[in-house]
Structure 1
Amino acid sequence: MSETKQTFNSSLGKKLIMALTGLFLCTFLIVHLGGNLLLFSNDGGYSFNMYANFLTHFPPIEVVAYVLYASILVHALYAIILTTKNRKARPVTYAVVNKSPASWSSKNMGLLGSILFLFIVIHMGDFWYKYKFTNTVNFKEYRTNLATGERTETAYTPEKADFEHSQSFDGNTEIIRVKDLHARVQSSFSQLWYVAIYVIAMGALTFHMVHGFQSAFRTLGWVHRKYTPIVEFIGTWFFGAIIPLGFAAMPVVYYFMSLSK
């Protein structure tokens, strides 16, 4: 067996894979939050629907998406393997030993990860799966006057069952027809149980990220007295606070908007 294979089959190797996939997922969270913040654009869902259409029809993005799905599964699988192994034997320490007392989040990463994985399954089933593989998401037509910027929107019913999206021009008017994922979001976020699940999951994300982001750097051996405080600050305030709050704000705001209608 090669040294590389031996390394990645060891407990430390599995932790390295966990760290690398975890940091990749951190990057995804930043991008995903940036795109989802388009839900707050005051344009009737136009920007968000364009974003969703781009994500699902631009080939390079689709390739990255499948890498993302694989990373989630690998991260979860290796977490289960390591947790099971650690219960049977003495855990293998980090590349650089952390002498600080174990935090609540570090002791409950399995629980936090399980909550997040369940949420991902529900979330992707409600949005990604229905958007890509069912006819439950309706279409919308946007007509934009390119001279004035004025835009109108109407419901659209495709003539062909396999219709995905289209862009055409009628003189000075741009006509775009896409799936109306924004309406699906409005519908889901008008249900209190779904909003509660979403907010609980973001709470789990907070604790998961506070420990996970910092431990990834320790696993990789990237520890330095000058830079470690920066890593801890980013893990605590950016990934542990700003990003979860940004995600949680969406269902909460849309739920109260649905009550006011």
Structure 2
Amino acid sequence: MNWFTKTFSSTVGRKIVMSVTGLFLCSFLVVHLIGNLQLFRNDGGAAFNLYSDFMAHNAIIRIMEIVLVLGFVFHIYDAVVLTRRNKAARPVDYANNHPEENSTWSSRNMGLLGTVILVFLIIHLWNFFVPARFGGLEGVVIEDVEYDNLYLKVVQSFQIWWYVLIYVISMVALAYHLIHGFQSAFQTLGLDHKKYTPFIQKFGVAFSVLVCLGFAAIPLYFFFFV
């Protein structure tokens, strides 16, 4: 186990963990967005509430939630460690080295983008996940069965302008974070090639923009049209 610990505590090892967990979290975003698209159905929130109930009580989903939390923890922890190591290895500030000539804004500000996303995640979980899992939601009857009305919580939350603003800004930050992180993950895992890298870059940008637009559209829709 000594070699395993040394490998994954090294800079290269931590970058691999960052890449794997990052790509795993990308898959979560897709699944989460598909579920949230139920909010657009014109059924008074029935489909979304049924989906939410399934997610809350399905044993496999609950196990995957633990895996997801571990993915977030490892991703965030390794990001902090790598950021500190990079700063220690680069005592001269970026401003003196003209980084804009050989790096993107998002690559130079992944720490800032990650912090914005983390703050949003805490707010988001407190506002939706905690009531959904631990009570505090009103009930709604669907086909003679009572369910937690998470849809009503969504409607109420997205009538608050500052929460909608925080949500949209966070999705912009997430898009920039993903655009750099997606390409970087493939490069770290050695999956880059002069023939395929341009496609990976374009796919990463398209994926990042479309997913984040999908999430941002939800609060904007409820704020302006519901």
TM-score normalised to structure 1 length: 0.80
Cα deviations across residues 16-64 of structure 1 (Å, max 9, x unaligned)?
1000100000000010000000000011101100111011100001100
Q: What is the match of residue 110 of structure 1?
A: 111
3-state SS of paired residue (1:225): coil
**1:97 paired residue number:** none
- The corresponding residue for 2:179 is 210
Corresponding residue of 1:229: 198
Paired residue for 1:184, among 137, 145, 153? 153
Looking at secondary structure, tell me which structure has more strand per residue. Answer: 1
Which one has the bigger helix percentage?
Answer: 2
Task: Name the SS of the counterpart of 2:140 in structure 1.
Answer: strand
* Equivalence for 1:140: 140
Q: Which residue of 2 aligns with 1:120?
A: 121
State the SS of the aligned residue for 1:190.
coil
TM-score by length of 2: 0.93
What secondary structure is seen at the aligned counterpart in 2 of 1:140?
strand
- SS in structure 1 of the partner of residue 145 of structure 2: strand
> For residue 127 of structure 1, what is the amino acid of its counterpart?
F
- CA drift of 1:4 comes to 2.5
Name the structure 2 match of 1:242: 210
**Aligned residue type for 1:112:** L
The residue matched to 2:142 in structure 1 has which SS?
strand
Q: For 1:67 and 1:5, how far apart are their aligned partners in 2?
A: 20
Report the CA distance between 1:176 and its aligned residue. 2.2
Counterpart of 1:28 in structure 2: which amino acid? F
Which residue number corresponds to residue 95 of structure 2? none
CA distance in 2 between partners of 1:75 and 1:206 (Å)? 17
Whole-Å Cα distance in 2 between the matches of residues 3 and 80 of structure 1? Answer: 23
**Which residue of 219, 223, 228 maps to 2:188?**
219
- In structure 2, runs of 5+ residues without a counterpart are 92-100
Q: Distance in 2 between matches of 1:178 and 1:70?
A: 29
Which digits, 9 at most, give the CA deviation of each residue in 1:52-99, with x for residues without a partner?
Answer: 1011100001100111111112111111111011111259xxxxxxxx
Identical amino acids, percent of aligned pairs: 44
Alignment of 1:161-172 (within 5 A): none
Structure 1: 4+ residue segments shifted above 2 A: 1-5
Match of 1:60 in 2: 60
Which amino acid in the other structure matches residue 253 of structure 1? Y
- Alignment-derived partner of residue 8 in structure 2: 8
- Give matches, 1:69-80, under 5 Å: 69-80=69-80
Larger radius of gyration: 1
- The aligned length equals 217
What letter matches 2:49 in structure 1?
Answer: N
CA RMSD of aligned residues (A): 1.4
CA distance in 2, matches of 1:56, 1:43: 21
Paired with 2:66 and 2:225, the residues of 1 have a C-alpha distance of 34
- Structure 1 unaligned runs (5+)? 92-99, 144-174
